[in-house]
Structure 1
Amino acid sequence: MGFFITFEGIEGCGKTTQIRRAAHWLSSTGRDVVVTREPGGCPIADDIRAILLDARNSAMVPLAELLLYAAARAQHVSEVISPALAAGKVVLCDRFTDSTLAYQGYGRDLDRGLIGHLNALAAGAVKPDLTVILDCPVETGLSRAMARINSTSAAREERFERESRLFHERIRDGFLALAAAEPNRFAVVDGSRGVEETGVAIQELLARRLAGR
């Protein structure tokens, strides 16, 4: 069986950059690595992602948002994550079920029991072996996120970046609460440091957790 690693955190925490670095390092050690993301990761889920992250859909109600995430995840797990793990690969995923708990549970204040049930339906038996939370102050993350959005000519995925600072503070608190509740699965890494320093910390973490596998 493979090894499933998820990267979590607020907007602009540096997940995407660090996943690329981690994938490069893991591949250099001879491991077969799959990099994917949520929402998205396969054509159907990518179509749902476009709906979820488009700022023009600001009228979307929280329950509809939650159900779309669950639908995208069900397809993604079935089409990408489960087959890769069954093939013995290391899967690195940019967001997974913990983001739904943090954003829709802590951020939107939807029922966390309901979210847990939907996460279980969508993901089945798939659960991360390790979850890396890149933690940084909200103002740092949002500043980075908007700089990234403003620098690209691609579709502007900014529906969440337009939310209030308080919303993002609740999300950060949610991630840290989840980490405190499952210390064996989660590792909190300071994402406010430079790319290189953060990358070294993650590489050392992965080396420890994958030792002997």
Structure 2
Amino acid sequence: MQGRFISFEGIDGSGKSTQARLLAEALRGRGQTVVLTREPGGSPGAEEIRRLVLEGDPDRWSAETELLLFTAARRDHLEKTIRPALARGETVITDRFADSTRMYQGISRGDLAAAVDQLHRLMIGVEPDLTLLIDIDPEVGLSRAVARQGAEQRFEDMGLDLQRRMRAGFLALAAAHPGRFRVIDGARDPQAVAADVLAAVTGH
């Protein structure tokens, strides 16, 4: 039996992490076995790489180096967490997957879209069954993200222009892959957003 693979995407501060958690809780309440995970991270090795890429000075890594680090983390995540859970017939919900790399490193941080796709084909070769894009105004999202004041602020520190380019890129990606993406308005009460997310996942 093969499980279902669901990803959440969106700019920083969009609320996707909250929505991923709420969806996991809702599906567990319906009797499903759910693995809730995140990227970068989701396995011990990938969590080590997470600290390298999300903390420190914004200029710490080039876009090319980031791409290699994120791909390495994703490969470990896939091997150790995602594939085993899907093979057990479980539902895997991940807070970010390859679409984030397509935005952050492929479009917004440098002209690396072709390299991102090539590495993905070679080393990952998996797309989610369903991707939920939580869409929000970049100014609102960035203000939310900065207010968290955690250690993982490296991308938020790159500023509003990056968030604007990423939002446009995510929406273009969703338009190019309508069979996989559902765009959810994130500028509402979290419970209203969660209701739309659950409807998109269950079909009613």
Q: Does 1:80 align with 2:91?
A: no
The corresponding residue for 1:160 is 155
Alpha-carbon offset, residue 114 of structure 1: 1.1
Query: Is 2:58–2:158's contact at 8 Å kept on the other side of the alignment?
Result: no
Matched residue SS, 1:200: helix
User: How many aligned positions are there?
Assistant: 203
CA distance in 2, matches of 1:121, 1:83: 20
Show CA shifts across 1:8-65 (max 9, x none).
0000000111111000000111111000000000111001000000133633111101
Superposition TM-score, scaled by structure 1 size = 0.92
Show CA shifts across 1:111-164 (max 9, x none).
21110111222323x21000000000001101111112x2x5xxx100000012
CA distance in 2, matches of 1:137, 1:29: 32
Q: Does 1:191 align with 2:186?
A: yes
Alpha-carbon offset, residue 167 of structure 1: 1.3
CA distance in 2, matches of 1:174, 1:109: 13
**Percent of matched pairs sharing the same residue:** 45
CA distance in 2, matches of 1:32, 1:59: 39
Structure 1 runs, 4 residues or longer, greater than 6 Å off: none
Query: Is 2:58–2:157's contact at 8 Å kept on the other side of the alignment?
Result: no
The corresponding residue for 1:21 is 22
Q: Does 1:115 align with 2:116?
A: yes
Query: Is 2:106–2:114's contact at 8 Å kept on the other side of the alignment?
Result: no
Show CA shifts across 1:61-112 (max 9, x none).
1110110000001111001001111111100000000000011112112321
CA distance in 1, matches of 2:47, 2:109: 23
Structure 1 gaps, min length 5: none
Alpha-carbon offset, residue 201 of structure 1: 0.8
CA distance in 2, matches of 1:13, 1:129: 21
For the aligned residue pairs, the C-alpha RMSD in angstroms reads 1.2
Aligned pairs for 1:61-80 within 5 A: 61-80=62-81
Query: Is 1:62–1:110's contact at 8 Å kept on the other side of the alignment?
Result: no
The corresponding residue for 1:38 is 39
Query: Is 1:6–1:132's contact at 8 Å kept on the other side of the alignment?
Result: yes
Q: Partner amino acid for 1:171?
A: M
Query: Is 2:106–2:115's contact at 8 Å kept on the other side of the alignment?
Result: no
Q: Does 1:202 align with 2:197?
A: yes
CA distance in 1, matches of 2:113, 2:54: 22
CA distance in 2, matches of 1:106, 1:170: 8
Matched residue SS, 2:8: strand
Superposition TM-score, scaled by structure 2 size = 0.96
Matched residue SS, 1:189: strand
Moved more, 192-201 or 106-115: 106-115
CA distance in 2, matches of 1:80, 1:52: 20
CA distance in 2, matches of 1:168, 1:86: 36
Query: Is 1:51–1:57's contact at 8 Å kept on the other side of the alignment?
Result: no
